């Protein structure tokens, strides 16, 4: 999964993505880690249909051999009809085939894009399509040991108790990286959309803003988690790629695992530690003289953030990395027991951070933050599935 | 710490006479000196204050303190982003008091720690910025005033609307007589709170000094679902804890009237029947010589809204009928809406015509400016401890009336006690858990 730059890199291309101009039918490929899964050999053609308008056939090769049922890709496609000036997410309800949404096998993919409005392009030479994939972890439906007290969730009345029985969902294996977020900034292309003043400290943030509102990743920072993103920034990024923030309950189940790791429909693989405190178990992050996550201090090898997956040996039962430490992660839930209800109140952040004491990096501890807060200790990851 | 070490603090706290002379430190400070600050209590408000003061060029946050180490990162990050030096992180606030380089303690703890934390800071010759509500009980508030005066400390209460320019203009307008004689003032605090979601007791979390958190209050088994705001041992209750802002504004606008003659109360837990002790509905009448002050407050009114964010810092007014934090002043010749949080004010004449409008801005920065200025000049701050005491007194009186069965209580301002109810007088002071005892002699 974590590969270096390939020798096919085109420096004009968006990192980690494949894009194609229909009129030119050229494939520009860049395979790297940087957060996106490797996508190769993108080809796009347009065909007419007998009954309706045209359809577009999108073929590509998802090459990462680690893609599996347990660790699938979430593939999303975006298009531009004006030579890359503006981009839109292709709605999944206009797609058919085996290469969008949750994709559980590597190999050649074919996607058919129906939809007369979107596909009746007047000037095909202006059309570009980009295919990106995020590595996810499958979290089977079923009960888990909900130990925290989620902050009221999505129900301001607070009457609805958090449900420890979650349906199937998928959560990103890694925190969103600087490289991924930089791609996003470049694609949305606005004058400052998704960007904030605190990010201008490139040394800390890892993103360099150019005068023409394009963005570059600071050298060697591609694989680090993005920081200085508000809750709204996180939500906008995830909407851009068809994902959403995990709820607190989803986040916590990703740490601890369900009562049955294969889910309640089969119940064959009982979780040996369903009430574990940390993703790896109950041992303290530094038990035995070595560190299992990036928390306060530099004895874990990192004074600030660490590249995502640096502690992958200590990932969760679903192989989700860095849930403990590194950056605190925005969740969808808000905190509704304070005076601030009705004032766009606090959101919940989970997982501790590189600045947090080890005890704060567990499955239970949450922190409240105002949604506009941009901080060096907070990032996010995506999820997809029915909202519990 | 200057002349009093930690052991001696403890002696004072437990009421043992300490034969140590404490001299007030320093006089007027040079403007070039940074005011060195320790912040006690790192919840939402403490984090906000730490970051706000750390941003100031004339202040430095040297300590961040909370019994729960899991809270450190959020506020530490915020402070280190805006000031060059790194604050020390401590669980025990006495380490701040021991450090004689510290000038100021910001006390942003839960209500039950406001009193003793402030008194001990005064004893240690620290000036104090203490969050509202000033005290947990009436007697404790008196002791806070005594400590501030005895040790000649600047104690500012976090009732920041007092420092907002629009509040001063409203006060001037009323004092000019344009409303006539004001005989009724209505204070609103209409909120929407959640039900508590009970869960079993849990082991005390690692990294959390739960005993220190409980401090002067009882120490029941740890239960994260227990909301301290809804428990008498830790709080004045969620209504007074917020309504004190508007009650304080009412007092401010009508010439800082000191004491009511009586209090009546109606209300109970009507809606949020989740085991809470504090009421979710409170209507209180405070009678003065020529004035009745009314408080209408509830926690189940979703249509009532605090001043919206886009109003707070702009030339707009709240939607007055549904403003949850307004003050209404009824005079013989005019009427005024006054909004908290920079909501501004509007005045109407005897025919109901709008005759004066004044937009507002929040007073947080001005309040902090005033505090730092007073630390330097030794002047009394805008929301001095005695002002805070007299405002929160109204909250305590309403609560006590409720707790003795919604009795009408007569108040004796000299003794700050009730003249018609021994039962009520038993609620003037709390039971302090040793060693965290506020002494009679501060």
Q: Tell whether B27 lies on the interface with A, counting CB pairs under 8 A.
A: no
**Residue B4: band (very low, low, confident or very high) from pLDDT cuts 50, 70, 90:** very low
Please tell me if residue B299 touches chain A, with a CB cutoff of 8 Å: no
Beta strands B35-40 and B262-266: pairing type? unpaired
Asked if residues A216 and A208 have their Cβ atoms less than 8 Å apart, the reply is yes
pLDDT tens string B255-290: 999 999 999 999 999 999 988 999 999 999 999 999
Closest-CA distance, B341 to chain A, in angstroms, reads 12
Token reading at B123? 């004893």
**How many of the other CB atoms lie within 10 Å of CB of B269?**
16
What per-residue confidence (pLDDT) applies to B28?
62
Contact B73 A328 (CB under 8 A): yes
At residue B239, the pLDDT reads 96
Å from A94 to nearest chain B CA?
39
pLDDT for B24: 42
- What pLDDT is stored for residue A333 in this prediction? 82
State the pLDDT at residue A161.
58
pLDDT of residue B1: 35
Chain A residues with CB-CB distance to B225 below 8 A: 149
Q: B8 pLDDT exceeds 50?
A: no
Q: Which pLDDT belongs to residue B117?
A: 98
Strands A207-209 and A128-139: unpaired
Please tell me which of the candidates B71, B206, B305 has its beta carbon nearest to residue A342. B305
Which residues, numbered 65 to 124 in chain A, qualify as contacts with chain B under a Cβ-Cβ cut-off of 8 Å?
none
- For residue A349, the cross-strand partners are A330, A367
List Cα–Cα distances, A196 to A199, A200, A227, B313, in angstroms.
Answer: 6, 7, 11, 20
Which pLDDT belongs to residue A290? 92
Pairing mode, if any, of strands B354-358 and B409-412? Answer: unpaired
Q: In percent, how much of chain B has pLDDT > 70?
A: 93
pLDDT range class, residue B119, cuts 50, 70, 90: very high
Q: What is residue A312's DSSP assignment?
A: G
What pLDDT is stored for residue A53 in this prediction? Answer: 67
The model's pTM is 0.86
With b for 16 or more beta-carbon neighbours within 10 A and e for fewer, the A36-47 pattern comes to bbbbbebebeee
pLDDT tens-place string over residues B245-259: 999 999 999 999 999
DSSP-assigned letters across all residues of A72-91: -EEEEEEEESSTTSS-EEPP
Q: Identify the pLDDT of residue A268.
A: 98
| Paired residues of A135 in beta bridges | A73
Nearest residue of chain B to residue A374 (CA atoms):
B78
Residue numbers in B near A365 (CB within 8 A): 70, 205
Q: Where are the alpha helices (DSSP H) in B124-209?
A: 138-150, 165-175
* Domains in chain A: ranges and CATH: 18-135 (2.60.40.10), 140-388 (3.90.1580.10)
Three-class secondary structure of residue A289 per DSSP: helix
What's chain B's average pLDDT? 92
Nearest beta carbon to residue B74 from set A149, A341, A367: A367
Q: What is the reported pLDDT for B6?
A: 43
pLDDT of B397-430, one tens digit each? 999 999 999 999 999 999 999 999 999 999 999 9
pLDDT in tens, B349-400: 999 999 999 999 999 999 999 999 999 999 999 999 999 999 999 999 999 9
The pLDDT score that the predictor gives to residue A115 is 67
In angstroms, the separation between the Cα of residue A241 and the nearest Cα of chain B is 29
Rounded Cα distance, B107 and B128, in Å: 7
pLDDT tens, residue order, chain A (388 aa)? 332 222 222 333 343 445 555 543 323 333 345 689 999 999 988 887 766 667 889 999 999 999 999 999 999 999 988 888 889 999 998 899 999 999 999 999 999 988 656 556 666 677 889 999 999 999 999 999 987 765 444 344 444 456 789 999 999 999 999 999 999 999 997 767 899 888 988 888 999 998 888 999 999 999 999 999 999 999 999 999 999 999 989 999 999 999 999 999 999 999 999 999 999 999 999 999 999 999 999 999 999 999 999 999 999 999 999 999 999 999 988 775 544 444 457 888 999 999 999 999 999 888 888 899 999 999 999 999 997 6
Cβ atoms of residues B31 and B57 within 8 Å? no
Quickly state the pLDDT bin for B193 (edges 50, 70, 90). confident
Domains of chain B: 6-161+366-382 (3.40.50.720), 162-200+203-363 (3.30.360.10)
Q: Which strands, in side-by-side order, build the sheet including A55-62? A: A39-47, A55-62, A107-113, A95-97
CA distance A220 to chain B (A): 23
Task: Tell if the CB–CB gap between A158 and B194 is shorter than 8 Å.
Answer: yes
CB contact under 8 A, A341 and B194: yes
Rounded CA-CA distance B13/B113 in Å is: 13
Whole-angstrom Cα distance, residue B423 to residue B293?
24
DSSP A298: S
What sign does the CA torsion over A214, A219, A224, A228 have? Answer: negative
- How many other C-beta atoms are found inside a 10 Å radius of the C-beta of residue B129? 27
Count of CB pairs separated by less than 8 Å, A with B: 90
> Which residues from chain A sit within 8 angstroms of residue B227, using beta carbons?
337
Summarised one tens digit per residue, pLDDT across range A346-382 is 888 999 999 999 999 999 888 888 899 999 999 999 9
Give the closest of A198, A342, A369 to B74, CB-based: A369
Is A364 part of the contact surface with chain B (CB cutoff 8 Å)? yes
Closest CA to B141 of B405, B396, B404, B424: B396
Calculate the alpha carbon distances from A286 to A155, A252, A295, A300, B344 in Å: 38, 21, 10, 8, 54
The pLDDT, as a whole number, for residue A155 is 40
B57 to each of B53, B102, B238, B267, how far by Cα in Å? Answer: 9, 16, 35, 47
Minimum CA–CA partner of A304 in chain B: B77
- Can you tell me whether residue B249 is helix, strand or coil? helix
Q: Does A336 touch chain B (CB under 8 A)?
A: yes
Q: A152 and chain B: CB distance < 8 Å anywhere?
A: yes
Residue among A156, A359, A368 minimizing CB distance to B70: A359
Task: Find the residue in B nearest to A341 (Cα).
Answer: B192
Tokens 């004006």 — which residue? A82
Nearest to B205 among A342, A346, A359 (CB): A359
Interchain proximity A376–B207, CB inside 8 Å: no
A159 has a chain B CB within 8 A of its CB? yes
B11 vs B123, more confident: B123
Whole-angstrom Cα distance, residue B194 to residue A157?
5
pLDDT of residue A125: 75
B310 touches chain A (CB under 8 A): no
| A305: contact with B, CB 8 A cutoff | no
DSSP B11-59: HHHTT-------PPP-SSPPTTSPEEEEEE--SHHHHHHHHHHHH-TTE
Task: Check whether B34 has a pLDDT greater than 90.
Answer: yes
pLDDT digits (tens, 9 = 90+) for B144-155: 999 999 999 999
Q: Does B198 touch chain A (CB under 8 A)?
A: no
For testing the chain A interface, which of B69, B72, B76, B77 should be mutated: the one with the most A CBs within 10 Å? B77
ipTM: 0.80
């Amino acid at each position: 999964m974590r590969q270096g730059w390939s020798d096919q890199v085109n420096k004009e291309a968006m990192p980690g993505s494949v894009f194609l101009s229909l009129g030119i039918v050229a494939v520009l490929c860049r395979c790297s880690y940087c957060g996106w899964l490797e996508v190769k050999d993108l080809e796009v053609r347009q065909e007419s249909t007998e009954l309706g308008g045209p359809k577009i056939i999108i073929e590509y090769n998802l090459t990462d051999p680690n893609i599996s049922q347990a660790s699938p890709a979430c593939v999303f496609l975006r298009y531009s009809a004006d030579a890359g000036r503006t981009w839109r997410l292709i709605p999944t309800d206009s797609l058919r085939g085996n290469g969008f949404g949750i994709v559980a096998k590597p190999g050649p993919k074919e996607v058919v894009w129906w939809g007369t409005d979107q596909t009746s392009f007047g000037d095909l030479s202006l059309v570009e399509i980009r295919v990106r994939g995020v590595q996810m972890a499958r979290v089977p439906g079923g009960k888990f040991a909900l130990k925290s007290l989620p902050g009221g969730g999505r129900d301001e009345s607070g009457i609805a108790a958090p449900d420890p029985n979650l349906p199937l969902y998928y959560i990103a294996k890694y925190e969103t990286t600087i490289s991924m977020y930089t791609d996003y900034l470049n694609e949305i292309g606005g004058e400052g959309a998704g960007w904030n003043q605190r990010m201008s400290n490139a040394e800390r943030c890892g993103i360099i803003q150019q005068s023409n509102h394009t963005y570059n990743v600071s050298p060697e920072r591609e694989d680090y988690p993005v920081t200085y993103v508000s809750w709204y920034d996180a939500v906008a990024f995830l909407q851009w790629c068809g994902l959403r923030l995990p709820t607190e309950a989803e986040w916590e189940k990703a740490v601890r695992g369900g009562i049955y790791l294969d889910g309640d429909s089969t119940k064959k693989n009982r979780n040996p530690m369903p009430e574990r405190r940390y993703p790896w178990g109950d041992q303290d992050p530094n038990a035995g003289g070595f560190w299992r996550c990036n928390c306060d201090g530099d004895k874990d090898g990192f004074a600030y953030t660490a590249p995502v997956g640096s502690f992958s040996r200590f990932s969760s039962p679903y192989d989700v990395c860095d849930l403990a430490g590194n950056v605190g992660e925005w969740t969808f839930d808000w905190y509704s027991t304070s005076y601030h209800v009705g004032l766009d109140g606090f959101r919940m952040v989970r997982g501790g951070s590189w600045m947090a004491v080890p005890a704060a990096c567990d499955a239970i501890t949450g922190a409240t933050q105002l949604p506009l807060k941009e901080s060096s200790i907070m990032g996010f990851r995506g999820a997809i599935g029915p909202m519990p | 710490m200057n002349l009093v070490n930690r052991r001696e603090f403890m002696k004072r706290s437990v009421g043992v006479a300490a034969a140590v002379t404490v001299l007030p430190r320093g006089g007027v400070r040079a403007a070039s000196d940074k005011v060195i600050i320790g912040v006690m209590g790192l919840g939402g408000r403490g984090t906000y204050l730490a970051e706000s003061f750390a941003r100031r060029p004339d202040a430095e946050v040297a300590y961040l303190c909370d019994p729960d180490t899991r809270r450190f990162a959020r506020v530490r990050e915020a402070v280190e982003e805006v000031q060059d030096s790194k604050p020390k992180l401590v669980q025990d606030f006495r380490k701040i008091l021991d450090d004689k380089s510290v000038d100021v303690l910001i006390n942003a703890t839960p209500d039950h720690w406001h009193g003793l934390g402030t008194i001990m800071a005064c004893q240690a010759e620290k000036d104090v910025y203490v969050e509202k509500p000033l005290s947990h009980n009436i007697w404790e508030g008196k002791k806070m005033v005594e400590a501030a005066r005895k040790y000649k400390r600047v104690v500012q209460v976090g009732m920041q609307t007092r420092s907002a320019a629009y509040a001063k203009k409203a006060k001037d307008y009323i004092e000019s007589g344009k409303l006539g004689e004001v005989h009724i003032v209505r204070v609103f605090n209409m909120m929407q709170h959640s039900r508590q979601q009970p869960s079993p007791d849990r082991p005390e979390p690692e990294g959390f000094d739960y005993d220190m958190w409980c401090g002067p209050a009882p120490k029941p088994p740890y239960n994260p679902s227990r909301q301290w705001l809804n428990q008498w041992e830790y709080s004045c209750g969620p209504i007074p804890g917020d309504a004190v802002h508007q009650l304080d504004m009412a007092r401010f606008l009508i010439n800082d009237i000191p004491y009511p003659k009586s209090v009546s109360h109606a209300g109970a837990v009507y809606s949020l029947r989740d085991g809470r002790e504090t009421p979710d509905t409170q209507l209180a009448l405070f009678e003065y010589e020529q004035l009745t002050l009314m408080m209408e407050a509830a926690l189940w009114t979703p249509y009532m809204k605090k001043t919206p964010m886009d109003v707070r810092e702009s030339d707009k007014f709240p939607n007055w009928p549904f403003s949850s934090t307004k003050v209404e002043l009824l005079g013989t010749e005019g009427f005024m809406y006054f909004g908290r949080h920079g909501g501004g004010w509007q005045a109407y004449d005897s025919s109901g015509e709008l005759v004066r409008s004044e937009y507002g801005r929040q007073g947080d920065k001005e309040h902090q400016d005033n505090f730092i200025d007073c630390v330097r000049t030794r002047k009394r701050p805008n929301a001095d401890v005695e002002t805070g005491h007299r405002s929160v007194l109204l909250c305590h009186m309403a609560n006590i009336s409720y707790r003795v069965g919604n009795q009408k209580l007569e108040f004796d301002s000299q003794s700050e006690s009730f003249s018609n109810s021994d039962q009520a007088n038993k609620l003037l002071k709390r039971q302090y858990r040793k060693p965290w005892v506020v002494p009679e002699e501060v």
